[in-house]
Structure 1
Amino acid sequence: MRDSLLKIGQLEGRRIALWGWGREGRAAYRAIRSRLPASPLTLFCNADEAADAAVLADASLAIETDANAGRLSAFDIVVKSPGISPYKPEALIAAHEGTRFVGGTALWFAERPHERAVCVTGTKGKSTTTALLAHLLRAGGHRTALCGNIGLPLLELLDAQAEYWAVELSSYQTRDVAGSGVRPPIAVVTNIFPEHLDWHGSEERYVEDKLALLTEAKPRIAVLNAQDRRLAALSLPDSDIRWFGREDGWHLRGDDLYRGADFVFDTRAVPLPGRHNRGNLCAVLAAIDALGLDAAALAPFAQSFVPLPHRLQMLGERDGIAYVNDSISTTPHASLAALDVFRGRRVAILLGGHDRGIDWSDFAESIGANPPAAAVTMGQNGPRIRALLEEPARRAGFLLLSADGLEQAVARAREALAGEGVILLSPGAPSFGAYRDYTQRGRHFAQLAGFDPDIIASIPGLGIS
């Protein structure tokens, strides 16, 4: 069920709490304080975050470290950070007792309901698609915001002005938007594969939450990938669907880009590694068409796009070995796609991380069609992946190694390649436990490879320009 739009000003006089003190939580605090400077607030966070928040010396801010069901139930509204699952038992109990949970993304849309926003989601490709959309719109002379899950919370731009908004939404945020009363002008969905099962609780709920941006938020225009079976099967009577990836829309024929029957240009000069990545260009151009702009005129500007870090990022070469940072890869499907980019080269792929219970059987069955020179497993789910790969490794003849962590994995990959090939960090799993996030994991990989992590990690174009 969709709630009505909730503006920040409507929080006044109600019992309000913040849950989470990461970048999204801090952005929500500043946004609320910009509208309601003296309203009582309670912050639920961990002990380290509590010490950070205490520095604010806000007399109207109470800080607590135990977000239990009883305490959450004491509030009318809880502004929740995206990384906190609404399916946690304490959240479900509080919601049953009448507490309304809302995220910063929904608050922004309530404040700015008439903006020309393009919401981009998908299991893979959403960050690149969002950044490329902003790049092409800016190339056309349009003042455009690049924000959202890509690294800049919408609430940090609460009072900023832009002609267009390129907004990346995670699966955590699509549910928030869908339940908030927001109807996005345009929603782009690149693909749907199982991910974040620990947050959503099941594959079915992940798919339901992801697709809620379409099925519940009911965007005016839905830009969808015709090659994705789940998307292709959707019926959206309240939305105008624009398909990409099929012959009557934007699609690729080999490396050539077409709009319908019309050839546009050869995409080999576009700095997007892999055919699946260039498919994101089709999504972007379909979205630009949906905005009523001339996408074909803007398409060649894709050749000046600067790829995002941690996404099949070529770091460089050391002693005959090329290092590729694909730390963003958190699903087995993404790791297979990364391997395909380097088809025909000697590759040592580094696999594994936090175990969310995702099935690697399809990966094991498919890897024989494009076997690496070596696969090195690591992390919490490393032993499970290794067990599944033992038979494919025997049949296809690739080395199967294991490592205690990323440092040892890089060392074993170097030894396996013996001075020739590609070390590909495409773990197919999150980094939690060993690292704060995929960014920290990618930075460590760059450091182990002999490159400056600060130079490789910045995301170009965030904000408004």
Structure 2
Amino acid sequence: MGSQEVSTVDWQGKHVTVAGLGVSGIPAARALHERGAIVAVVNDGDDERARVQATELEALGITVRLGDGATLPPSTELVVTAPGWQPDKPLFLAAAEAGVDIWGDVELAWRLRGDNGRKAAPWLAVTGTNGKTTTVRMLASILEAAGLRTAAVGNIGVSLLDAVLGEQEYDVLAVELSSYQLHWAPSLRAHSAAVLNLAPDHLDWHGSMEAYAADKGRVFEGNTVACVYNAADPATEDLVREADVEEGCRAIGFTLGTPGPSQLGVVDGILVDRAFVANRQKHAQELAEVSDVNPPAPHNIANALAAAALARAFGVEPAAVRDGLRTFRPDAHRIEHVADIGEVAYVDDSKATNTHATEASLAAYGSIVWIAGGLAKGATFDELVTGAAKRLRGVVLMGADRALIREALTRHAPEVPVVDLDRTDTGAMSEAVEHAARLARPGDTVLLAPACASMDMFTNYNKRGEAFADAVRAHAEKSA
């Protein structure tokens, strides 16, 4: 199916099973029911929230089965799943054995776009292990600066179904896609797409790094204008080579160095384009200054270049790239500057929940007191510590798996002082900040970049970041 074609499905009387309540499941069930499908929702959980949601759906005539997401309802002709459900669940194995297709919420949104009779907006898609949300929001900011009607949607927390079926008309959508979502989206065909980077993540879900990369690579299938890859990450370029794209679709690289033809890069503090210019062999188009990127950390400049590449692939003028980057403000807990106290900067990157994200965060600063630890999710830390050792003034560790980081520090940075907090209560953050402040010297950065998930101590990475910011502010009051 070509990128601009809209699929038509006769939903009337079609038996569809929706797997999972929540952000994607409920809109899917409602949309299918409104189109005449006979919808059954199955859900593993049977808590109070699920029962309230079930009651609302049952009032519409939708069947809901709580506490049993394993059994395929009889007569099922299609399964629509929430993205987090693993492929080896009995429900999916039963569907595969019965020859029943399995779609994710992204696949359903793709099939239903244009269903309301309006022209279907093209998708500019972004995936990668880290940086997706920031890049998609930068892209949306650039598209808005160009005067286009757009929205940042998908894995960013805004339902794609709501975007494609809502009353608002869009010229183009900036779409964040996770590997889970791409796994269940076989017919997705974006206008242009980017894979920002690839590092081991979610391997328990995908089964192997090869399977994880293959699902990420699905974002390039059928692209019509540009497949954007990271020149510093050869695995992303390999995915472009393996993709089956529309004739004329181009491979566009981005680099923090001087770009070659068909690349975007950086020259003397300027973001430049040698891909979407008339004579890319000899000419480069200035897009913005590095100082227009907020914050101008190396990995964030890479995000900006990827966003710019997708916007330029859509025909956006250089001035809009500059204006969009200038007006963009990052989400909380993503290299967020909290305060300067006694010539020491305090930075919250609680969103750095894996080693790849933390590596990028540590690379952004020259001399660091690093606060780290939490749930390691099977990660190892030797490579991370080896790369950062020369920049570490000191380290403060906390959380359930802190010993893994401490052991890596002993092996690869034995001279770096380490404070090991033997506690996992939420109050540990205040003590961590006090220890970090004592280790820091003027010109240093105290950086919360845990390289671990937060759930051993906090509800989520947001709460962890808020605890850090509160502790920094309390320290500032003591120091005043």
Q: Structure 1 residue 409: deviation in Å?
A: 4.1
Note closer, same or farther for the CA distance 1:199–1:138 as it changes in structure 2 (3 Å cut).
Answer: same
Could you say which residue in structure 2 is the equivalent of 1:136?
142
Query: TM-score scaled to structure 2, two decimals?
Result: 0.82
Could you say which residue in structure 2 is the equivalent of 1:176?
184
Contact 1:273/1:312 (CA < 8 Å) preserved in 2? no
Could you say which residue in structure 2 is the equivalent of 1:392?
412
Post-superposition CA distance 1:397-439 (Å, at most 9, x none): 2324244335314413422422855442212233345545433
Q: What is the rounded CA distance, in whole Å, between the counterparts of 2:160 and 2:446 in structure 1?
A: 36
Q: What is the rounded CA distance, in whole Å, between the counterparts of 1:207 and 1:298 in structure 2?
A: 29
- Which residue of 403, 410, 416 corresponds with 1:383? 403
Q: What is the rounded CA distance, in whole Å, between the counterparts of 1:443 and 1:46 in structure 2?
A: 29
- Which residue of 328, 335, 339 corresponds with 1:312? 335
Contact 1:402/1:409 (CA < 8 Å) preserved in 2? no
- Which residue of 447, 452, 461 corresponds with 1:424? 447
Q: Structure 1 residue 347 and structure 2 residue 347: aligned? A: no
Note closer, same or farther for the CA distance 1:265–1:186 as it changes in structure 2 (3 Å cut).
Answer: closer
Q: Structure 1 residue 32: deviation in Å?
A: 2.5
- Residues 205-354 of structure 1: matches in 2 within 5 Å? 205-214=211-220, 216-218=221-223, 220-234=225-239, 235=241, 236=243, 238=245, 239-245=249-255, 246-248=259-261, 249-253=263-267, 255-260=269-274, 261-262=283-284, 263-295=286-318, 297-317=320-340, 322-344=345-367, 346-353=368-375
Letter in 1 for 2:373: L
Q: What is the rounded CA distance, in whole Å, between the counterparts of 2:244 and 2:50 in structure 1?
A: 47
Q: What is the rounded CA distance, in whole Å, between the counterparts of 2:287 and 2:171 in structure 1?
A: 26
Matched pairs, number: 440
Q: Structure 1 residue 175: deviation in Å?
A: 1.8
Give unpaired runs (5+ residues) of structure 1.
Answer: 452-465
Give the SS at the match of 1:47: coil
Q: What is the rounded CA distance, in whole Å, between the counterparts of 2:304 and 2:447 in structure 1?
A: 24
**Which deviates the most, 145-154 or 10-19?**
10-19
Q: Structure 1 residue 174: deviation in Å?
A: 1.7
Q: What percent of counterpart residues are identical?
A: 28
**Which deviates the most, 160-169 or 99-108?**
99-108
Could you say which residue in structure 1 is the equivalent of 2:51?
51
Contact 2:16/2:79 (CA < 8 Å) preserved in 1? yes
Give the SS at the match of 1:10: coil
Give the SS at the match of 2:427: helix
Q: Structure 1 residue 450: deviation in Å?
A: 4.6
**Which deviates the most, 55-64 or 104-113?**
55-64
Letter in 1 for 2:79: V
**Which deviates the most, 399-408 or 6-15?**
6-15
Contact 1:73/1:98 (CA < 8 Å) preserved in 2? no
Give unpaired runs (5+ residues) of structure 2.
Answer: 115-119, 275-282, 475-480
Could you say which residue in structure 1 is the equivalent of 2:478?
none
Give the SS at the match of 2:134: helix
Contact 1:108/1:155 (CA < 8 Å) preserved in 2? yes
Q: Structure 1 residue 7: deviation in Å?
A: 6.5
Post-superposition CA distance 1:332-362 (Å, at most 9, x none): 1211211122213x42322332x43233231
Give the SS at the match of 1:71: coil
Letter in 2 for 1:242: I
Q: What is the rounded CA distance, in whole Å, between the counterparts of 2:235 and 2:334 in structure 1?
A: 24
Q: Structure 1 residue 185 and structure 2 residue 186: aligned? A: no
Give the SS at the match of 1:163: coil
Letter in 2 for 1:348: W
Note closer, same or farther for the CA distance 1:301–1:15 as it changes in structure 2 (3 Å cut).
Answer: closer
Q: What is the rounded CA distance, in whole Å, between the counterparts of 1:153 and 1:165 in structure 2?
A: 12
Q: What is the rounded CA distance, in whole Å, between the counterparts of 1:99 and 1:435 in structure 2?
A: 40
Note closer, same or farther for the CA distance 1:96–1:303 as it changes in structure 2 (3 Å cut).
Answer: same
Note closer, same or farther for the CA distance 1:85–1:122 as it changes in structure 2 (3 Å cut).
Answer: same
Contact 1:375/1:400 (CA < 8 Å) preserved in 2? yes
**Which deviates the most, 106-115 or 125-134?**
106-115
Q: Structure 1 residue 118 and structure 2 residue 139: aligned? A: no
Post-superposition CA distance 1:366-396 (Å, at most 9, x none): 22132242131423x33222222222341x3
Note closer, same or farther for the CA distance 1:269–1:242 as it changes in structure 2 (3 Å cut).
Answer: closer
Q: Structure 1 residue 155 and structure 2 residue 167: aligned? A: no
Could you say which residue in structure 2 is the equivalent of 1:100?
101
Note closer, same or farther for the CA distance 1:88–1:414 as it changes in structure 2 (3 Å cut).
Answer: farther
Note closer, same or farther for the CA distance 1:358–1:218 as it changes in structure 2 (3 Å cut).
Answer: farther
Give the SS at the match of 1:70: coil
Q: What is the rounded CA distance, in whole Å, between the counterparts of 1:51 and 1:185 in structure 2?
A: 40
Q: What is the rounded CA distance, in whole Å, between the counterparts of 2:327 and 2:70 in structure 1?
A: 51
Post-superposition CA distance 1:99-144 (Å, at most 9, x none): 3221111111112264221011111111111111111111121111
Q: What is the rounded CA distance, in whole Å, between the counterparts of 2:73 and 2:471 in structure 1?
A: 43
Could you say which residue in structure 1 is the equivalent of 2:10?
10
Query: TM-score scaled to structure 1, two decimals?
Result: 0.85
- Which residue of 375, 382, 386 corresponds with 1:361? 382
Post-superposition CA distance 1:175-196 (Å, at most 9, x none): 222x1x2211111111111112
Q: What is the rounded CA distance, in whole Å, between the counterparts of 1:372 and 1:7 in structure 2?
A: 57
Could you say which residue in structure 2 is the equivalent of 1:458?
none
